[in-house]
Amino acid sequence: MRILVVEDEETLLRNLEQGLSRAGFSVDTASDGQAGFDKASLARYDVIVLDRDLPRLHGDEVCRRLNRAGNRARVIMLTAAASLEDLTEGLGLGADDYLTKPFRFPELTARIHALSRRSGRPSPTTLEGGGLTLDPARGLVRRNGVNLDLTHREIMVLEILLRAEGGVVSADRLLEEVWGQDLDPSGSTVRVTMSRLRRRLGDPPVIETVIGRGYRI
Name which of 13-27, 63-77, 116-130, 200-214 the model is least confident about. Answer: 116-130
- Picking from 98, 94, 89, the residue whose alpha carbon sits closest to that of residue 51 is 98
Q: For residues 69 and 105, state if they share a domain.
A: yes
Q: Is 34's pLDDT higher than 50?
A: yes
Please tell me whether residues 67 and 144 are part of one structural domain: no
Q: Is residue 159 part of a domain?
A: yes
Higher local confidence (pLDDT), 122 or 5: 5
Last residue of a domain, one of 67, 90, 116: 116
Residue 92 maps to a domain: yes
Q: Where residue 8 falls among pLDDT bands split at 50, 70, 90?
A: very high
Q: What is the pLDDT of residue 121?
A: 44
- 173-180 LR contacts (CB < 8 Å, sep 24+): 173/214, 174/214, 174/215, 176/43, 177/2, 177/26, 177/44, 178/26, 178/153, 179/26, 179/153, 180/2, 180/26, 180/27, 180/28
pLDDT bracket for residue 2 (50, 70, 90): confident
Give the pLDDT band of residue 186 (cuts 50, 70, 90): low
Place 50 in a pLDDT band, splitting at 50, 70 and 90.
Answer: very high
Q: What is the per-residue pLDDT for 30?
A: 96
Residue 137: CATH number of its domain:
1.10.10.10
Let me know: does 78 contact 50? Beta carbons within 8 Å: yes
pLDDT tens string 148-158: 999 888 988 99
Domain containing 201 equals: 127-216
136 and 109 belong to one structural domain: no
- 122 found inside a domain: no
pLDDT at position 206 is 93
Q: Could you tell me if residue 121 is inside a domain?
A: no
End-to-end Cα spacing for the chain? 20
